[in-house]
Structure 1
Amino acid sequence: MENSNRRNLGVAVICAGVFAGMVGLSFAAVPLYRLFCQVTGFGGTTQRVTQYSDTILDQTITVRFDANTNGLPWNFRPKQREVTIRIGETTEVAYLAENIGPTATSGTATFNVTPPLAGGYFNKVECFCFTEQELQPGQTYEMPVQFFIDPEIVNVRELSKSNTITLSYTFYPLQQETAETPAAGAAKRPELGG
């Protein structure tokens, strides 16, 4: 009888350990998947680079812009819906965010590119999505994105007939905050005139 209780206790400890491990892995899955996508461009994730392209082609491509929020009281939109650029040319566009809520809120943006295979050739030099953003009530902020399309995209057979790429952002809230507890490391943004 005592051996049976000991075995049952051992099985219970193993099950609890497996359960705790699975919970830990589920919390780690999102950051690990995001890191994998950012490194490989998988799932339309763009690449982050520190230098501009040294090759600019005569061939053009149209980049469309999409903006969404999930759980933030912000109006968030691109300043322009699309641009047509030469492949390899560095371009800067901007998104506008306005906090229409009664308190300061902070968010972070996720992003992807469609078609997904193009993500590995969409290179961002600067982006508001690299840092957390905080907006005071009623504050509007212009957020720039500097990017270029890697000229190697023309050598990808699956993308040879695609002349349009869509860059999409979704802003998510950070942890619940109030105006008295701004996000650590989030800079206060000056309000835009107009």
Structure 2
Amino acid sequence: MAFDGKRKTLATTVGVVVFMGAMAWASVPLYDWFCRVTGYGGATGVAEATDGRILDQTIKVRFDASLEKGMPWEFKPVQQEMTLRIGEEGMAFYEAYNPTDRVVAGSASYNVAPFGAGGYFSKIDCFCFEEQVLQPGERVQMPVVFFVDPDIVDDLDANRSKHITLSYTFYEIDLPEDMQAALATGDAGSTTN
């Protein structure tokens, strides 16, 4: 009988360990999905276009930029803020500069504050949708096209927001394989972003 109790305890322990491992593995994609669906944590939506509704109410959008530690670029918003009508399409630019003597690839993460407004902030096009590669000394202006969904005025928590801050953080990533191969063969001059 004691041996059956030990087997049961062992099976339960193994089951708990497997369950916890599965939950840890799935937590990041589930959390990302949850944030994108609800706007929690400042995650934004992605849209093809506005739905055509433009309200007389305005909202101020502020732009913020930062770099992860070790990222050698310079990165900043071209304009600090803009005011637009809720539902109206806006376009802002961010500038990145690679002051180094090497090719550097980067990817941008983003969020929106206040967090409750994230679900109503939709991007139509954004440099953050794909990796960016800058040649030595290259400076680029990168657009983000967006709108604030008019449904924000019906949300009792989010409708108090008179401004929204869109923040990006650039971090360095590995160069794409084709660029690494071109650099290895000395043919980097023929690669493009």
> Scaled by the length of structure 2, what TM-score is found?
0.78
Q: Distance in 2 between matches of 1:103 and 1:19?
A: 45
Counterparts of 1:136 and 1:35, CA distance in 2: 34
Contact 2:77 2:95 survives alignment (8 Å): yes
Residue matched to 2:188: none
What is aligned with 2:145? Answer: 146
Distance 1:157 1:119 in 2: 14
Q: How many residues align?
A: 178
The equivalent position to 2:57 in structure 1, one of 56, 59, 76, is 59
Residue 25 (structure 1) shift: 5.5
Match of 2:45 among 47, 50, 59: 47
Tell me which amino acid in the other structure corresponds to 1:86: R
Q: Deviation string for 1:51-95 (max 9, x for gaps)?
A: 223100111000000001113111111100000000000011110
CA shift, 1:136, in A, is: 1.2
Greater fraction of residues in helix: 2
Shift of 1:20: 8.2
From the superposition, tell whether residues 103 and 35 of structure 1 become closer, same or farther in structure 2 (CA, over 3 Å).
Answer: farther
Which SS does the other structure have where 2:110 is aligned?
strand
Instruction: Return the offset for 1:31.
Output: 3.8
Q: Structure 1 residues 114 and 181, CA, compared in 2 at 3 Å: closer, same or farther?
A: farther
Classify 1:172/1:27 alpha carbon distance in 2 versus 1 (closer, same or farther; 3 Å): farther
1:87–1:150 contact (8 Å) kept in structure 2: yes
Change in CA separation of 1:80 and 1:123 when aligned onto 2, cut-off 3 Å: same
Tell me how far 1:177 sits from its aligned partner: 7.8
CA RMSD of aligned residues (A): 2.9
For residue 165 of structure 2, what is the aligned residue in structure 1? 166
Counterpart position of 1:80 = 79
TM-score, normalised via structure 1 length: 0.78
Structure-to-structure mapping, 1:183-194, within 5 angstroms: 188-189=192-193
Change (3 A) 1:23 1:108: farther
State whether residues 117 and 161 of structure 2, in contact with CA within 8 Å, keep that contact through their aligned partners in structure 1.
Answer: no
**Structure 1 residue 180: Cα displacement:** 3.5
